[in-house]
Structure 1
Amino acid sequence: MNFLDSAVTLTLNGFSQVSWSFDYAMVFFASAHLAKGGIFMAVLWWWWFKDGNKKFDYRERVISALLSAFVAVAAGRILAIILPFRARPLHETSIDFLPPLGMTSNVLEGWSSFPSDHAVLFFSLSVSLFFLSRKLGLCALAYTVFLIAFPRIYIGFHYASDILVGGIIGAGIGLLGNSRIVVDNVSRRVLGCANSTPALFYPVLFLLTFQIAEMFESTREGIKFAVHVYEQACLPNESLVLK
């Protein structure tokens, strides 16, 4: 653990269990999908149906934001898997971390903290919102820093460097996803599907925004269940073994 991570983590942890209301607020914002992805997806849906001369430009940007978010979630998870494992502050045995009130110490145990997939996703979305409105982008960035990233450091889910690196990766994905070449060659073609096959497009769009809002949690659980069923099916059936 470097000096920055140590200083930030231990300083913030000094306030743990001092205020019941503050601790529970931090736990809520760190864990409630509605307060994170739900709000961002609601904002994108609002821009999708916003009327005006730039209606189709808005929709292209919304599609770019969603595509960037999808890539961000995938990138964050892949990097966390392939990079060397890093225990979360909450589980780090070398520091005497005091969990905030309302936290259980075994949550996310076995999951690497680096980089923060939340930071990758929500900094990507914040950058994407800049292309719709600078004021909205600034508000989204502030919301991400103070009500998404900060709580995850405070409750011991991440070190500061997890957030910093994840934020840089996410911002880069957001910028690339909103580049002119992507908007013209990808987002515009996807928007064409909304006009040609709306009966198919909108259910898919709804499911995508729902999954992004919950960071594909139900999809992950479904995959884990399928893997478990497959592993159980591959086990030899003892009742059929001849004795």
Structure 2
Amino acid sequence: MYKLDAAITGWINSLSGNSLLDHVVITISNLGVPLLVLAVAAQWWAGTERTKTRHILIAAGLTFVIGLGINQIILLFDQRLRPYDAGVTRLLIERSSDPSFPSDHATATFAIAAAFLIHNLPRRGLVFLLAAILVSFSRIYIGTHYISDIMGGALTALFAALLVKALYKPETGVDRFLTNIL
């Protein structure tokens, strides 16, 4: 399985080398997560169904944090080398000091998309899903992750979204308190 993972990762990374495209993809990689977080936060005051939207925004934030927390637990047990350290990819940005699996970028972006999709805001969810795919692709392209790191991050995000959906219910006291802030 590793050979297939490395082959696909190496092929995607081999697409790099065009300075303009490299610059665009590096920018997507660097700004993707913060821009998605801003896109979520900006919706706090938007729309006609504010209570429902705010519930989903809080669920997205919880999914984001829980997903990244799960990643930290996984890192206690798996210290996978980055693909550039294994000679699979050529790195286009600064080296990272943490292990490769799972991808925090993938977890963060897919967490947002999964929260919107699971909580039945499909159009917004699909936009966030496309953004998550783009950011995640950029992480492979620039040489920082294997494709399986991305899939692991996406699965962590999905698990976190399902957990939040099961535990954070609309119209509870906590939900009413949080959705009425500001």
Query: TM-score, with normalisation over the residues of structure 2?
Result: 0.86
What fraction of aligned residue pairs are identical, expressed as a percent?
24
Give distance in 2, aligned partners of 1:168 and 1:96.
Answer: 23
Is 1:154 equivalent to 2:141 in the alignment? yes
Give distance in 1, aligned partners of 2:125 and 2:104.
Answer: 20
Q: Is the 8 A contact 1:4 1:160 kept in 2?
A: no
Is 1:118 equivalent to 2:105 in the alignment? yes
2:71 maps to which residue? Answer: 76
2:56 maps to which residue? Answer: 61
Q: Which has the higher contact order (CA 8 A, sep 6+)?
A: 2
The structural deviation recorded for 1:155 is 1.2
Q: Is the 8 A contact 2:33 2:108 kept in 1?
A: no
Return the match for 1:183 from 164, 169, 174. 169
Q: Is the 8 A contact 1:73 1:121 kept in 2?
A: yes
Give distance in 1, aligned partners of 2:62 and 2:44.
Answer: 14
2:81 maps to which residue? Answer: 87
Q: Secondary structure at the match of 2:84?
A: coil
Give distance in 1, aligned partners of 2:148 and 2:13.
Answer: 16
The structural deviation recorded for 1:96 is 5.7
Q: Is the 8 A contact 1:90 1:155 kept in 2?
A: no
Q: Structure 1 stretches of 5 or more lacking a match? A: 203-243
Give distance in 1, aligned partners of 2:14 and 2:82.
Answer: 17
- Could you list the per-position Cα deviations for residues 48-97 of structure 1 after superposition, in whole angstroms to 9, with x for gaps in the alignment? 21242x321221121111111111121122312x12311101222xx263
Give distance in 1, aligned partners of 2:42 and 2:62.
Answer: 17
Aligned residues: 181
Larger radius of gyration: 1
Q: 1:194 to 1:96 in 2, by over 3 A?
A: closer
1:4 maps to which residue? Answer: 4
The structural deviation recorded for 1:157 is 0.8
The structural deviation recorded for 1:29 is 1.6
Q: Is the 8 A contact 2:9 2:88 kept in 1?
A: no
Q: Read off the aligned partner of 1:26 and give its amino acid letter.
A: V
Q: Is the 8 A contact 2:33 2:105 kept in 1?
A: no
The structural deviation recorded for 1:117 is 1.5
Q: Is the 8 A contact 1:77 1:117 kept in 2?
A: no
2:177 maps to which residue? Answer: 192
Give distance in 2, aligned partners of 1:163 and 1:96.
Answer: 16
- Could you list the per-position Cα deviations for residues 190-242 of structure 1 after superposition, in whole angstroms to 9, with x for gaps in the alignment? 441564xx5xxx6xxxxxxxxxxxxxxxxxxxxxxxxxxxxxxxxxxxxxxxx
The structural deviation recorded for 1:41 is 2.5
Q: Structure 2 stretches of 5 or more lacking a match? A: none
2:23 maps to which residue? Answer: 24
Q: 1:157 to 1:136 in 2, by over 3 A?
A: same
